[in-house]
Amino acid sequence: MNSFVLGLGEVDATQVDLVGGKGAHLGELSRIDGVSVPAGYCVTTKAFRRVMLDAASFEDHLGRLSSLSPDDRDAIRAHGTEIRRIIEGAPVPAEVAEAITRPLTGFDERTTFAVRSSATAEDLPSASFAGQHDSYLNVVGPASVLEHVRRCWASLFTERALTYRLRHGLDHREVQMAVIVQQMVSPQAAGVLFTADPVSSNRTVVSVEATVGLGEALVSGVVSPDVYTVRDGAVATRSIASKLLAASAAPGGGTVQHPIEPELQDQPALSEEQVVRLAGLGRQVEAHFGCPQDIEWCLVDDDILLVQSRPITTLFPIPTAADADNHVYVSVGHQQMMTDAMTPLGLSLFRLTALPPMHEAGGRLFVDVTAPLASPASRHAVIEVLGASDPLIGDALQAVVDRGDFLPSLADKGPTTGAHGHAPAPIDPDPTIVAALVEDNEASVAALEREIRTQSGAALFDFVLTDIEELKRLMFDPQSSQVYMSAMDATSWLNDQLQEWLGEKNAGDVLTQSVPNNVTSEMGLALLDVADAIRPYPEVIEFLQRIETDDFLDEMAELTGGPSSRDAIAAFLDRYGMRCVGEIDITRPRWSECPSALVPVILGNIKNFEHGAGERRFEHGRQEAWEWERQLLERLRALPDGEQKAGATERMIDIVRTFIGYREYPKYGMVRRYFIYKQALLGEADRLVRTAGLGEREDIFFLTFEELREAVQTSQVDTALIARRKESFRSHQALAPPRVLTSDGEAVIGAYRRDAGPLGALVGLPVSTGTVEGRARVILDMADADLEPGDILVTAYTDPSWSPLFITIAGLVTEVGGLMTHGAVIAREYGLPAVVGVEHATQTIQDGQQIRVSGTDGYVEVLA
């Protein structure tokens, strides 16, 4: 065959650019011993490109498409329609048409064919593109095959395919279309199999879906399949569907649906022997490709034919272990309120600064809790501590324990009191303790800023590693831990005892409002002060409403009020500019690097608040906390042993109000150091751009710390490795990390074991007391925030960078979070009812809906 057409036997997995992802996989399947694939050939991307050469204005439309947003549906639809019209009307050169139809002469004239799209960005590990392009069954005759090949080419530009590419950052010019032409078969049954459970992601389970006749009815959703799971070579579960319809080839081409006889409707499509054989074949294909596969199959006269195999792109990767034993991993991101994928440099730096050993998978970090979970002495404490922070993690871990056969049997090593190994020692509520800790940290950061300026090259990396030990000293200082752990324990004591004595739920929440030394809540109030500085100057406000770049501060000097407004923003950045969304990843853009990210919040503060709002808000919270303390103590003194109870409560309140604000400071200190490291490392990146062929300075983000160190030492950069890492990072961004993951790949799902709120309410963890109703604002990117007073923020997670938005909102709902994570702490300080850990909140709640949030009982109700 010529370059326009290749037989399946001539194709292998390396030829994606020539035959597309689907074609490459089919060719590779045909090479596996014991695997049968229907006969056929591939129309290569060279044929597509040859036809496009003569397609008028094709390139012009591609150029316009590249500038569109994936949300600009009308423009995408219009351009896509025009491009498909161009392709379907373009003449097919004689040599291309002859190459496409010549192989058909080897078949009987009554033979029918399946004509299926195979794009070069399809069925890849990073993006499946499943269902994005067209396929046609039961095509009869050379002329019809040629016409359907042309339709497959055109389907590269359907609205769904164009939108998918735009969302995944794929260049339309880089994606080409090949087409597969295969002999049609008439199966007794067909379906799909997954070599990992598509629901739980468990890699030890094969899932088989089957229906009678062609698989088209199953794929199109008009019939329900029989579903089998296979484990250890045997059928573990089966569910037989009632089959009312089947699809088969129509005599004149295409397919037709027809009813199934009543006596056959409840018969299984496969025997158990066939299911087990099919699962074994799936394991063989998985081993050949080296990753879990989604396989389409058909059964013809008891022979199994495979018609497609692609990687399962939705499975979360498994951390690499040093042994083949069972392991249980807990997500670090759910504890840190940062579940986004991290870059290699971000991952490696965070691992260097963290205390427990961590494992990487899918651009996220996990802690292996197998040993403490397997030991009866520590198991309860681990589940209790992690469950108190996130009940869904605690319940998932308990589910693993309850199975009884997954964890190893470990001998007890003696009792333990918790995850930290000891209870915090008593501490007096002395404000000078916090002042001394802050002073120590400030002096340390100042020394770092002075000394790092003299470092460069390999010496810089040694300096950073040495300073990371100083960072750890500050982060894990025993007195520092004692301060915030005492405050957390005192908060729990207040909630438990005041509910028992007075029937008050979460009574400690109000008591944490407007506490001193909370650097994160102070940041939100400081941005109100920035708004106060700008509010008198309409020219500055108008200027800020139309900025498009991050160099706007210098442009403000010529405006009336510009210098003082600029100075107010600059002063804020000097104090807080190292913060950003996802700040535990050192590579994330900081506010000092992208100050435009703050402008919408500043403008919102100017619009929604009056001068002096920051000071008034803090004082209002302080007065509310004081009045609540007075009421509680008065009610306690009226009880039996009231003076004793009031005295103990008063002491706990003093501990909370003196120390809980410091809870936010250690991370603030870490993030400050991260930004200093980052600036120094980017200086080395600039040198690599000039001397070692690094494409752009941010490319160093896709090297680990040690790899970057080697690149700086050798002045050599592995650009191919960086390109692969970027592709992996894009695929990781599309994945949602599980809270709990096993070494079988199973994402163990926990549940809230309680009823909360009215029927149909969304259940979560109550972290800040009170009930509020308002308009839901579903926001996934802080830069998109357009909030009005009284709105309720609904988002995936919040870290300290989101706290300036808390000034405006009336309530908070997040998908991730715990009792002492940053969003919960700031919500309590600002007096906002909040519920966190609400599964799929951003999908279930629609932007603009009226909702009721109960931060006391832990539920969210969507109102009519």
The pLDDT tens digits of the residues spanning 719-733 come to 999 999 999 999 899
Say which residues have a Cβ less than 8 Å from residue 134's Cβ, sequence separation at least 6.
117, 151, 152, 154, 155, 158
Mean pLDDT, rounded, for 246-274: 78
Range scoring the smallest mean pLDDT among 222-231, 252-261, 265-274: 252-261
Q: What is the pLDDT of residues 138-187, one digit of tens each?
A: 898 999 999 999 999 999 888 888 887 777 777 777 788 999 999 988 89
Residue 419: Cβ within 10 Å count: 16
What's the pLDDT score for residue 217?
Answer: 62
Say which residues have a Cβ less than 8 Å from residue 158's Cβ, sequence separation at least 6.
80, 84, 132, 133, 134
What's the pLDDT score for residue 250?
Answer: 66
Q: Quick one: pLDDT band at residue 422, thresholds 50, 70, 90?
A: very low
Residues of the chain above pLDDT 90, percent: 74
What's the pLDDT score for residue 821?
Answer: 84
Mean pLDDT, rounded, for 290-295: 94
**844 pLDDT exceeds 50?**
yes
850-854 and 834-836 beta bridge pairing: unpaired
Q: Quick one: pLDDT band at residue 130, thresholds 50, 70, 90?
A: low
Tell me the angle at which helices 478-502 and 613-637 cross, rounded to the nearest 10 degrees.
60
- What spatial distance separates the first Cα and last Cα of the chain, rounded to whole Å? 64
- Among residues 79, 334, 732, 822, which one is catalytic? 822
Give the 3-state secondary structure of residue 809: coil
For 837: left if phi > 0, alpha if psi spans -120 to 50, otherwise beta; the answer is left
Catalytic residue status for 822:
yes
Give the total residue count for the chain. 864
What's the pLDDT score for residue 215?
Answer: 73
Phi, psi of 819 (to 5 degrees): -65, -35
CA–CA separation, 411 and 323 (whole Å): 20
Q: What is the pLDDT of residues 740-751, one digit of tens each?
A: 999 999 999 999
Signed CA dihedral, 765, 770, 771, 773: sign only: negative
Phi, psi of 227 (to 5 degrees): -125, 125
Residue type, 99: A
Mean pLDDT, rounded, for 652-661: 96
Give the 3-state secondary structure of residue 708: helix
Give the 3-state secondary structure of residue 179: strand
Q: What is the pLDDT of residues 373-404, one digit of tens each?
A: 999 999 999 999 999 889 999 999 999 999 99
Q: What is the mean pLDDT of the chain?
A: 91
- What global pTM score does this model have? 0.88
What's the pLDDT score for residue 423?
Answer: 43
Contact 329, 741 (CB under 8 A): yes
What's the pLDDT score for residue 85?
Answer: 87
Q: Which residues of 671-698 are buried (b: 16+ CB within 10 A; e: fewer)?
A: bbbbbbbbbbbeebbeebbeeeebeebe
Strand partners, 862: 851
How many alpha carbons fall within 13 Å on the CB side of residue 653?
Answer: 23
Q: Note the Cα 362 to chain centre separation in Å.
A: 10
What's the pLDDT score for residue 252?
Answer: 65
